[in-house]
Chains A and B, each alone.
Chain A
Amino acid sequence: MSKNVDTIRVFLSDVSEEMKSTQDFLSKILVRAGMEIIFLNANYEEIDDEILTNRILDEVKKADCTIHILGHSYGKIIQNKKQTSLSEFQFYVAQNYQKENVISKIFIWYPQDLIDKPLDASQEDFINSVRNNISSNMVYSNHESPVVFVEDLRSIMLSDKKEIKDIKDTDIFFIYNELDEDEAHEIIELVSDIADVTKLGIVQSSPDDYMTFIANQMTKTKLLVIYFNRTSDWATHFVQQVWNKTGGASSQTPILFLGDLETETNENKNIAIPNVNSMMLSAELMPLEIKVHLDAIKN
């Protein structure tokens, strides 16, 4: 989700006593960086685990991300079943929430100047557990400067991927260069009889943001076909850049890279990249080849 600075809301988790001043300092910086801070307002001493979990969840849900500051002492243990500190309890609630809500992010800050200080045994176990279980939407920062930490947080929150709009599901996403337009249209016409096709002709001088469109369309496509006849130089680089920006070997959408065999310059244009099937075929065989690949994916 794309955000403005003004709208970033941060849940600031509880800290042990010796980190209160650090937490206070950080909260002032967050405010000056234009963020809204959410604290837990609950008398946790007197409530049971379930109620406490729900109260924390209520606050976490209001936020775009959570911040957890780690110090060298474990902090006061609350009277819950696991006998954990409030900060650890809050961390696990946020973590469980994040597992199901990938948009939410967790920022852990363990300032560099504290790293060499001796830890409470319980705190050491907690930190080791956090450090060894960092997941994709978590950031574990050791930067000594709270300003840098907040800068990092802001740039990460603002760099979230753009929302996908106006993209429809399709079987085949067919891309070609405008210089091969005539040949490409013949193939697309044949393939359209057997599958849904979304086509894209690349015009070098066009101001369109092709890459954003391609990256988004790829998420709704079963097979990407990149076709070329007389534009092999363009095509070999184009397929590589598309591969680079759409997940490469780990992408869910394979790429079929098709060159016209009858054009002499295409002789050695096969490329070997994982998740890309590269073939030089005569134009009439191409629809069939595309169908074979699509069927293999569907099955």
Chain B
Amino acid sequence: MEKKICPYPGLRPFTENESIFFKGREVHIRQIIRQLEEKKFVMITGASGDGKSSLVYAGVIPNARAGFFRAKFSNWLITDFRPERSPLQNLARTISQHLELDAAFVEEELGYGFSALTSLYKESKFYIDYNSEKWINASKEEQKKMKQSASNLFILADQFEEFFTNSENFSNNKPSANAYTTINLLLETARIASEADLPIYIAFTMRSDYISQSVAFKGLPEFIGFSQFFVPRLKRNELQQIIEEPAILSGGKVSKSLSEKLINDLPNGFDQLPLLQHIMNRLWKVADDGNQELNLLHLAKIAGMPSKILKAEDRENFDAWLLEIEDFRQVYYDKPMLTNVLNTHANILYEKSFDYFSQNIDWAKQNITKADAQLIIKIAFKSLTKIDEGRAVRNRITLREITQIINVPHISYEIVCGVMNIYRLQDSTFVRPFINDEDIATQYLSADDTFDITHEALIRNWKYLQEWEAEEMDNLSNLKDFQIQLNRWKDNNKADGFLLAAGALAYFEDWYNKSKPNKYWIAKYDMNAFSKEEKLENAEILSSEIVEFLQASRKYLLALKRKQQRLRTILLIAALIIIVTLSGVAFLANTARKYAETQAVLIEQQKKKAEKQKEIAEDQKEIAIKATELAEEEKKRAELNAYEALVAKLLSDSAKTDAQKMRALAELSSEYAKKEAENAKLARDKAEEMRLLSENERKIAESERERANVLSYLAMAQSLALKSKQNYNDKQVNLLLAYQAYKFNKDYGGSEQDPEIYKALNFAILNSGEKNIIPLEKENFTNMSLNGLITLVSKHGKLQKYDFNGGKPSVSKTLSSKIPVNSSYVLDAKYAIIGYEDKTAYLWDYENNQVEKFPDYSDYIRGAIKLSNSTIAISDRGPALKIWSFDQKKPKLIIEIVFEERINDFVFVPKKNMMFAACNNGNIIGIDLDSYEKKNISTKKNRATAIAISPDQSLLAVGYSNGVIDVFTVSDKITFKTSIYASSAGVSNLVFDENSSTLAIATDDERINLYSVTDFEASPITISDHEQNVKKLSIKNNRIYALCYDSSLRFWELSLKNYVEKVKSLITRDLTTEEWNKYIGEEIKR
């Protein structure tokens, strides 16, 4: 079979050669051509990814060349260029090539601006001036030849926004001279062409978000106002043409179901067209290069799809295919969506890059590992994008520059080129320049060749690249923060006071060590310099300043630390001195008191001595008087003695005064010492009190610290639980992180049924390839019952029993009828009730394969319960409950109990011999089976959709269409207990576990919530990985089983502990130190 040409270019724009497949834009092409015909100029604007370039290259230009453009001549010179980093040179290059003129001459001429371009054209051989002598004097044959070579001139400045995005063209809100001249030249050319009716046509394509910046170029806003074309949003029929017609042109076909699905699911806004073209390109390849009709099955294989949407025969094909693909791809199909296609494709190339390099690139050294290859891709794509006003945009960059930013000695530019080649293949075309399959030389690029991401849709839709960009954004933001601090330091003569504080230093050192910003990376974000050399020079200076600033800050902080240590020592000594001093004061007071007491004793002794001397002097006076009487000669001696005695007395009196003074002093000293002692005691008591207070505070602080520690570990457990649900290449990481989350939670007293830990463990198990689907035979099951075995009844009337591992059914019986089963209810190990689409109903003794029709019955059964061995209750779409006996096997209607509205669900409570019905009008009605009397239990506005009784018959739960569940206590009376709000979607199923301790709730938003009966206010565990609504929910042996709408039977453990054991059994290694530090943190000890 002849290979068909793929008519969908993928992510890249259509080229002129591919215009034969360009569809859906006919009206827009005509409008642009009309504008050009009339005004000679058009500015084509629009959002990123709306096909501006394709519209010109594959629409306007080919139509012009084909003659569908009214112009003077038959031929066209198409001079197109992108501004890139040197717009004037690029324009000169294309003009010189097409006008067949010397490049240097053209560049010099164009450098003068204004009419330079029109002059070059008018003087070239491609223009005919019908008034010139040359034309008038030419023969008819010569004139014919001249006309045959005459050409209109079409100038296209594609991606005009590069005049603003490249700092070489536009910096500090000012255009460079080079850029300014280029725009002057183009606008003047358009003006002259319009005035002189020259066949020159000028078109610019520019992203509309740059329009406001055009004011920087004089005259440009006026021209935009004069002739602008805003690329319109595609209508449904235009999208349909884009999808279907290229395939038809190439001899293929797109199924209408696929076409409508694509139109319905395509995201609006940015990237609609590139995503669609990429999807179509992938579909074409999956559909055997267009040899098969492109259909939904092909889409399912590239984007995923709920299997219910596929045709029955395609479902098996898809399921089998899904099982065969590589593990890393499986995860992409979990959430089917069109944006998966690009993300999956880019990821597959990322995973296969190393193998591709090893097997296909023989011209580069093979001395790299898979990790090296993936590092190259990561840094290359980070280099191919840059952050512009907070958003990631394309950044053209040479192979040499990428290699320099990677900056790993053994990684040469050849290796970088070889690894990146997988993204340049014709099958992918994610990065320009593309590899041409027919020209092997295009595989190999020189170091100065420029790489460019084909379309920004890749940046916005490849999740890895988004993560890398977030990292890049962080790095850039850190660099800018750092520069602010660095400049402040420099502006203040590098003063110590402007160095980094300890926290900031630690932060920036960590950033520096992790991101290793080299000068090539820094130069990428230099928006101030125009030339590359200047940027590198600036970056080198900044790079060394960064190191200097970090080193100076570190040195200063070390010095400060040492100083602080010294200060601490001094303070310690001072404190010791104070303590010693205080002790000294007390000691001195004591000593003074003792000294005063000693002095008082001495004074007393001296006083006694003085009194004795006085007595002696008195005696001597008496002797002297007696002697006067006796002897005249003795008189003077006696008077002398008396005088001596007087002196002695005076002396003695003086000593007495001194002693009294000393005693008073001693008494004062004693008093003072006493007071000092009291003060010392008070101080000691105060100190003791303070010590006790401080001890108490220390204990509180210790307790708070412990509490904070516990909380931080619990928070860490939650954080790890979240991290464990991300995609890692090694699924062991998911298991290890989930297990570590569980451990932290358990060790630090977290809830035993913590919802996040539960989800993390469940995810890690499923992610590791374990399935929570019980394998059953392919049947469309209508209902399920769990007793000793799993019993299921299919749409075709087949009753099957499986053990809890699934596989082959141990029992498989069919109730033969050609009418499909509408509903089924397995009553016990013997009987089932089957309701058919023709509204008949049967009681089936499937043990003995006997069947009895319910007489006079004509409706769809909506519920059935066995009340005793001989009675059953049945509800249907009418407002009644019917109780039947089947004593003689033949069902016989006992009573029909009529309600206001139909019953959506009902339960039987044996201990009260009552049934409770959940009604469509929101009423909950109790029915006494002795008297068949009805009693209203509760009334609400919303529909009551499900009801359940706990196995111990103590709790009754009712679910409503607004997602609310009311819980009642069942005793002598039915008493309202509490309300839970499970979801904004309605409740479809309720079931209690066997211990009456958990209430499981299935809601119509594809979730199952597990509530603890003892604490309804606690956050529930939410299960959502089934992504299906639940037909029937049951709990058996601590497992929840859900029969889903896709007929799959899924299960989950009720207890988190069971998941832990499973996770432990799947773990084959420990977290490495690197992983521990990355996900948990170096500061957390193992």
Contacts and interface: CB of A to CB of B under 8 A. Distances in A.
Contacts of A135: 256
Nearest to B821: A121
Interface stretch (A186-194, A202-210, A285-293): A202-210
B250 A177 contact: no
A11 interface: no
B74 interface: yes
Nearest to A265: B148
B308 interface: yes
A136 to B, nearest CB: 6
B1069 interface: no
A20 B368 CA distance: 66
A152 B22 CA distance: 22
Interface in A174-202: 177-179, 202
Interface in A110-149: 112, 116-118, 121-122, 124, 128, 131-136, 138-143
Given A117-B1004, A139-B236, A204 B66 contact: no
A121 B249 contact: no
Contacts of A234: 65-67, 74-75
B250 A238 contact: no
Interface string B280-323: 00000000000000001000000000001101000000000000
Given A205-B72, A243-B249, A248-B20, A131 B257 contact: yes
A167 interface: no
A231 interface: yes
Contacts of B62: 237, 240-241
B235 interface: yes
A249 B250 contact: yes
A191 to B, nearest CB: 22
Contacts of B248: 247-250
A265 to B, nearest CB: 10
Contacts of A128: 308-309
A43 interface: no
Nearest to B823: A121
B264 A142 contact: yes
Contact of B65 (A210, A237, A274): A237
Nearest to B250: A249
A230 interface: yes
A299 interface: no
Contacts of B236: 139, 141, 152, 155-156
B251 interface: yes
A244 B22 contact: yes
A275 B5 CA distance: 13
Nearest to A132: B311
Contact of A250 (B26, B251, B1006): B251
A136 B837 contact: no
Interface in B240-284: 248-251, 255-257, 260, 263-265
Contact of B235 (A121, A152, A240): A152
A118 B988 contact: yes
Given A140-B260, A249-B251, A211 B68 contact: yes
B65 A273 contact: no
B70 A118 contact: no
Interface in B70-105: 70-76
Interface in A229-278: 230-231, 233-234, 237-238, 240-245, 247-250, 273-275
A156 B71 contact: no
Contacts of B309: 128, 131
Interface in B473-524: none
By CB atoms of chain A within 10 A, which of B23, B249, B250, B308 has the most? B249
B237 interface: yes
Contacts of A241: 19-20, 62-63, 66, 68
B618 interface: no
B813 interface: no
A54 interface: no
Nearest to A245: B26
> How big is the B interface, by class?
35 or more
A247 B252 CA distance: 11
A159 interface: yes
Contact of A122 (B65, B782, B837): B837
A210 B782 CA distance: 62
A179 B250 contact: no
A4 interface: no
A250 B264 contact: no
A157 B68 CA distance: 27
B653 interface: no
Contacts, number: 141
A83 interface: yes
Interface in B1-59: 2, 4-5, 19-23, 26
Contacts of B250: 248-249, 274
A156 B237 contact: yes
Contact of B256 (A116, A134, A156, A178): A134
B19 A231 contact: no
B66 A155 contact: no
A143 B5 CA distance: 33
A33 to B, nearest CB: 15
Given A118-B1029, A118-B1045, A134-B257, A244 B19 contact: yes
A14 to B, nearest CB: 19
Interface string B993-1033: 00000000000111000000000000000000000010000
Given A141-B264, A205-B72, A238-B66, A121 B822 contact: yes
B67 A202 contact: yes
Contact of B73 (A139, A204, A210, A240): A204
A250 B237 contact: no
Interface string B107-145: 000000000000000000000000000000000000010
A124 to B, nearest CB: 8
B777 interface: no
Contact of A177 (B21, B69, B74, B144): B74
Contact of B23 (A132, A178, A244): A244
A179 B140 CA distance: 12
Contact of A143 (B65, B67, B264, B1005): B264
B534 interface: no
A231 B74 contact: yes
A179 to B, nearest CB: 6
B688 interface: no
A134 B244 CA distance: 14
B153 to A, nearest CB: 14
Contacts of A273: 20
Nearest to B782: A121
B63 A134 contact: no
A155 B237 contact: yes
A244 B67 contact: no
B1055 to A, nearest CB: 29
B257 A210 contact: no
A211 B33 CA distance: 14
Interface string B774-807: 0000000010000000000001000000000000
B237 A159 contact: yes
Contacts of A112: 264
A234 to B, nearest CB: 5
A22 B144 CA distance: 68
Interface string B821-843: 01000000000000001100000
20 contacts: A83-B837, A116-B1004, A131-B257, A134-B256, A134-B260, A139-B236, A143-B264, A159-B237, A204-B69, A204-B73, A204-B74, A231-B74, A234-B67, A237-B67, A238-B67, A244-B20, A248-B248, A249-B4, A250-B251, A274-B2
8 A-B pairs closest in CB distance: A248-B249, A249-B251, A237-B65, A142-B264, A152-B236, A134-B256, A140-B260, A237-B66
Given A134-B260, A274-B250, 5 more contacts: A121-B782, A142-B264, A204-B70, A243-B20, A273-B20
Interface of B: 2, 4-5, 19-23, 26, 62-63, 65-76, 144, 147-148, 235-237, 248-251, 255-257, 260, 263-265, 296, 308-309, 311, 782, 795, 820, 822, 837-838, 988, 1004-1006, 1029, 1045
